[in-house]
Amino acid sequence: MLRAIRHKSIHPAFCAFRAFSSAAKEMTVRDALNSALDEEMSADPKVFLMGEEVGEYQGAYKITKGLLDKYGPERVLDTPITEAGFAGIGVGAAYYGLRPVVEFMTFNFSMQAIDHIINSAAKSYYMSAGQISVPIVFRGPNGAAAGVGAQHSQCYAAWFAACPGLKVLTPYSSEDARGLLKAAIRDPDPVVFLENELLYGELFPVSAEVLDSSFCLPIGKAKIEREGKDVTITAYSKMVGYALKAADILAKEGISAEVINLRSIRPLDRSTINASVRKTNRLVTVEESFPQHGVGAEICTSVVEESFGYLDAPVERIAGADVPMPYAANLERMAVPQVEDIVRAAKRTCHRSVPLAATA
Amino acid sequence: MRFISESSQERIPCYRVLDDDGQPLANNFVQVSEDVAVRMYNNMVTLQIMDTIFYEVQRQGRISFYATTIGEEAINIASAAALTMDDVIFPQYREPGPLLWRGFTLQEIANQCFSNKYDNGKGRQMPIHYGSNKHNYFTVASTVATQIPHAVGAAYSIKMDKKDACSITYFGDGGSSEGDFHAALNFAAVMEAPVIFLCRNNGWAISTPTSDQFRSDGVVVKGQAYGVCSIRVDGNDALAIYSAVQAAREMAINEERPVLIEALTYRVGHHSTSDDSTKYRPTNEIEWWRLARDPVARFRKWIERNGWWNDMAESELRNSLRQELLHSIQVAENLEKPPIADIFNDVYDVPPSSLREQEQWVKDTVKNHPLDYPENISA
């Protein structure tokens, strides 16, 4: 799906890049991730990959395709089936100074390894008083796919983002995938990198400098995918695409929605979100995961704490149904947010279902 | 059709060098020089005295918690003596001995236990959770057995670096039940990682005796199930531990393979200061192991028989250690606690603005409401 991406401004943070306004080429998210891994492994011999099926099988979702042939079995390790084991081993390698990228076939399986992610990775720099740093990346598909049932569909963004010591990233486009994965691999802190299976095959335009091997995006900065002035819609991962579609529909009805692609759940870019809400006065948070104690709840609190006076309507939270994911296609469709849910929520914040003239 | 029995006819034999009286049983051990032997003995006594005094300090309410290593001094010190400073140590929490061997001072121990501003752990952890990069000793974490796969990962890194070194990890009989133990051994064999797995089978996991922990012949037999070569050793025999660890180290590094050592011993002390083990095991059993099977006394007999030690040296050592330790404790107890900034540092490599804001908020609150806070909260 083609989309012209307009960069809002230059973010000097970690790495320098210039904004281009026209797309030169297209790339799938899968290729974006693969090329990012390839380039980082080439640049730094300490980077290595571990996971089930990442080597000979070319990756369960082909994200690591070709890397075993290129870098050899010492740097692309096919592991036995033990998430707890290989997460712990990855952490140990990181303690000693390597930079592992550990793949979970889906983040549902990361629950087996969660003790190592939290207690061995996230907390070690702090508990060792700065003696042990853990430059590890845990990556893999997160959230719902299609027809994979309850034990393969949960989104873990809120769980991991609750923990100090971790960084949690949620790429949407190919540009996000490349820039954020490179940033994650280069980061000295442990990073949880939540991809989405259904986005792997999606094509996005990528500019020449996104394709450059030095490209990387700053961690902790959200991106305004589409500017607007009537309502702010925050989303991450696949829901960014849904939010953009909702914005198109809303535009036809005279509602100008500003869509924020969070990119980073921890640290959360509270200043971009609040600046947007102060402009639009209305907020809809969108996530595919369970509603309770979720990312939307955190965003709502941030806005209430910092921008209460600017809200003209209660915050609307769009999330998945509070049930384990059902399998049947019709039931699954009703258990996750759809574009029309986002449209209706935006209209509710505008207190009307007829076109609204933009207010100053 | 033949099922393999759940256990073999005979138990795996135990490698031993010294008998209970400190006499060598045979010549099947690595010779230890007088310097090394006396240094080993000094460290074993240091560990014993340190534990005895710190245990009392906790009972007096001056530190919150302590766990002793009484009965396991030979495992602690002799294993460290057989390694080099380049070998990386991943402890559980009952192995301060290797730290002492490598030069961590009693003052540093005391600073950690009192979590004062000179604690190199910045007051982040409970007592006995030591760690020191300088000494290649990874910070103790309370989580059981998580250090075992860590050691394998580090061993893999060491192998990739082509260093003349290995990693070693310690854990108890209880720790060997954790999933991490099994994953780590399995992986280490597949990855051909130079790691030594040293299990301190001391008979008890808090109140759980080994008969309730596993039904195998101890931990040593699990090695073969994963393709890891293994040995059972008398854990209270310093020379046996020394020889076995040295041989294991050579195998691990030169042959790029993991080795499992099961050191049989007894946990003479309680699990920790939060435990009273007389509630679940007979006092006369504890006393027998404390006196008749003391690894420190047994090694002492050997070094005395060699003319390397005597009663006068003994009482000098014990007295000077007590003095040094009591002085360290007094100093540590009276030092300031860490500053407020240490709540917020080291969460990330670079502190995010949200944490800096929280830190400022805390400092301002303390400044504006000084009567609500004790004097030792220093901004």
Specify the pLDDT at position B27.
86
A34 and A126 both lie in a single domain: yes
- In which band, very low, low, confident or very high, does the pLDDT at A7 lie, cut at 50, 70 and 90? very low
CB pair distance less than 8 Å for B146 and A188? no
The average confidence (pLDDT) of chain A is: 92
How many other CB atoms are found less than 10 A from the CB of residue A108? Answer: 21
Distance CA B171, CA B199 (A): 5
A106 and A230 both lie in a single domain: no
| Residue A298: active-site member | no
A228 and A125 both lie in a single domain: no
Q: Across the interface, which of A90, A120, A129 has its CB nearest the CB of B122?
A: A129
Closest residue in A to B139 (Cα) is: A128
Q: Flag whether A5 is in a domain.
A: no
Tell me the CATH number at A180: 3.40.50.970
Specify the pLDDT at position A6.
43
Question: Interface of chain A against chain B, CB under 8 Å?
Answer: 74, 77, 79-80, 82, 84-98, 100, 115-116, 119-120, 124-133, 164-165, 167, 187-189, 220, 267, 270
A56 and A115 both lie in a single domain: yes
Average pLDDT, integer, range B165-194: 97
Q: Flag whether A256 is in a domain.
A: yes
Tokens of B243: 């020889």
Catalytic residue among A83, A103, A287, A288: A83
A233 and A172 both lie in a single domain: no
The domain containing residue A316 runs over which residues? 223-351
How many other CB atoms are found less than 10 A from the CB of residue A299? Answer: 25
CB pair distance less than 8 Å for B131 and A74? no
Average pLDDT, integer, range A55-74: 95
- In which band, very low, low, confident or very high, does the pLDDT at B374 lie, cut at 50, 70 and 90? confident
A186 and A322 both lie in a single domain: no
Q: Flag whether A4 is in a domain.
A: no
pLDDT tens per residue, range B59-97? 999 999 999 999 999 999 999 999 999 999 999 999 999
A192 and A109 both lie in a single domain: yes
Res B170 pLDDT > 90: yes
Output the CA angle A253-A257-A261, nearest 5 degrees.
Answer: 145
% of chain B with per-residue pLDDT over 70:
99
Q: Flag whether A6 is in a domain.
A: no
pLDDT tens per residue, range A137-166? 999 999 999 999 999 999 999 999 999 999
Q: Flag whether A232 is in a domain.
A: yes
3-state secondary structure of B217: coil
A196 and A281 both lie in a single domain: no
Specify the pLDDT at position A16.
43
Packing angle of the helix pair B73-81, B238-254 (nearest 10 deg)? 40
A163 and A257 both lie in a single domain: no
Q: Which residues of A touch B342 (CB under 8 A)?
A: 129
Tell me the CATH number at A230: 3.40.50.920
H or E element in which residue A26 lies: strand A25-28
Residue that finishes a domain, picked among A179, A211, A243: A211
Active site residues of B: 56, 142, 271-272
Residue that finishes a domain, picked among A160, A177, A211: A211
- The structural domain count of chain A equals 2
Specify the pLDDT at position B376.
75
DSSP for B153-211, written as a single string: HHHHHHHHHT-S--EEEEEETTGGGSHHHHHHHHHHHHHT--EEEEEEE-SEETTEEHH
Q: State ipTM.
A: 0.90
Tokens of A344: 């209706």
A161 and A290 both lie in a single domain: no
According to DSSP, residue B134 is labeled G
Identify whether A326 is preceded by a cis peptide bond (ω within 30 of 0): no
Tokens of B296: 């420190």
- In which band, very low, low, confident or very high, does the pLDDT at A10 lie, cut at 50, 70 and 90? very low
Residue that finishes a domain, picked among A211, A242, A270: A211
A233 and A194 both lie in a single domain: no
Distances (CA, A) of B232 to A271, B95, B151, B176: 60, 19, 20, 15
Q: Flag whether A2 is in a domain.
A: no
Q: Flag whether A307 is in a domain.
A: yes
CB pair distance less than 8 Å for B146 and A187? no
Question: Ramachandran region of residue A288, left (φ > 0), alpha (ψ -120 to 50) or beta?
Answer: alpha
Q: Flag whether A359 is in a domain.
A: no
Spatial CA neighbour of A179 closest among A190, A170, A167: A170
A149 and A252 both lie in a single domain: no
| Residue A83: active-site member | yes
